[in-house]
Structure 1
Amino acid sequence: MSDTETAIGYGHVLEIALASGPSAFTYIREVFDVTPPADSDDTVEATHMQSPGRRREYIAGLTDSGEASYEMNYVPGSETDRFLRSIRGKKLIVRDTFANGVSIVYNALRQSYETAVPVDDRKTATLTLKVSGEPYMTEVTAPRNLITPVIEGVAKVGVPLTVKPGDWAGATDISYQWEADGAAVSGATGESFVPVAGNIGDVITCVVTAANDSFTTAAETAGTAAVIA
């Protein structure tokens, strides 16, 4: 068994709010590469005529939190695209949430938003933010549902229904429980469910539960139409 606790970056979530509306975060979708804020420490020379051993001396200067950058799939005219174009010159609050439920929160300004549209590859965009002040790292928090789970398919006997779990912040694991008229269906804990004759007339839902090492959060889909034969 491995003794490391590290993990891949999958599950990271970027959200941005305007400082004028600090509780209204916008989820930035389709991010695939993240460079979080990083400290850079200045040093100030303090050498003087009696510095020991004719050696230069230094004292600590200011710390710069630098830049943060995010690469994402570019969808022209999407909600994310329009939002990132709209934040020029505005004070921002940024929340980076890792899959384990820890977040880095910081103040920033948009430095650049560049898009690339190659002839033979996917369209991408790069957002660069200038960090202002010191970022704050939170404790582990419960998973947050960003996009509600949804059931796809026709509610008909013998026809598979599938659930899209939605998007979550701070989750390392997703589990499922299908329900018929609000009652859990025994053993129905996968991403799909096939109604049987006994489900005729039932409304099918699925409870999706996201978890990290400390917390769980559940979100339920909307119900299907009543199952038909």
Structure 2
Amino acid sequence: MSTEVETGLGSEFWLANASGTLVLLGEVTNIPIPNGTTGLIDASHYKTVGFKDYIAAPLADGEEADLEMNWVPGSATDLLCQEAKNKTREFRIVLPVDGEQYEFTGSVLVRDYNRTNPREDKRTGSLRVKWVGDIDEGMVA
């Protein structure tokens, strides 16, 4: 039996610059897929027996994720990531699927941008984002 799974080769991550224009980030090696998570509220009390009791929080909280890339000092991607730190920006993720495009769009809060400069390996960067607001996803016509 064969599978229909594909690799992520050809995927793209776009991030809005200060003027709101989406810019394709270069040298990206791992794109996390946004998911919304719902927190829990501990509803236990002094008469609770056994396990704690929880209820779902009324608001979803987007989780944090790391977008990984090769770091090229001073590149357009490097400068955009530095500038976007601590700001909320629009994003677009493009996934090639069987010759078509599947997209995620929405907003992220850019929490941090970390860069490494190892002695005997490639330089890497990691853009920590928090998904905020509703995320739209689907095939692009």
Q: TM-score range by the shorter chain?
A: 0.7 to 0.9
CA drift of 1:42 comes to 1.5
- Deviations along 1:151-191, one digit per CA (max 9) or x if unpaired, are xxxxxxxxxxxxxxxxxxxxxxxxxxxxxxxxxxxxxxxxx
CA drift of 1:69 comes to 1.5
RCO greater where, 1 or 2, for CA within 8 Å and sep 6 or more? 2
CA drift of 1:44 comes to 2.2
- Measure the CA separation in 2 of the matches of 1:135 and 1:67: 14
Which amino acid counterpart does residue 67 of structure 1 have in structure 2?
Answer: E
- Measure the CA separation in 2 of the matches of 1:108 and 1:90: 8
Corresponding residue for residue 219 of structure 1: none
- Unaligned 5+ runs, structure 2: none
Change (3 A) 1:14 1:47: same
Change (3 A) 1:31 1:57: same
Cα RMSD (Å): 2.4
Which amino acid counterpart does residue 110 of structure 1 have in structure 2?
Answer: V
CA drift of 1:49 comes to 8.6
Give aligned-pair identity as a percent: 31
Corresponding residue for residue 123 of structure 2: 123
CA drift of 1:19 comes to 7.5
Corresponding residue for residue 35 of structure 1: 32
Which amino acid counterpart does residue 95 of structure 1 have in structure 2?
Answer: R
More strand by proportion, 1 or 2?
2
TM-score by length of 1: 0.53
TM-score by length of 2: 0.82
CA drift of 1:18 comes to 4.2
Max radius of gyration: which structure?
1
Corresponding residue for residue 68 of structure 2: 71
Matched length: 137
- Deviations along 1:138-158, one digit per CA (max 9) or x if unpaired, are x3125xxxxxxxxxxxxxxxx
Matched, 1:92 2:89: yes
- Unaligned 5+ runs, structure 1: 143-229
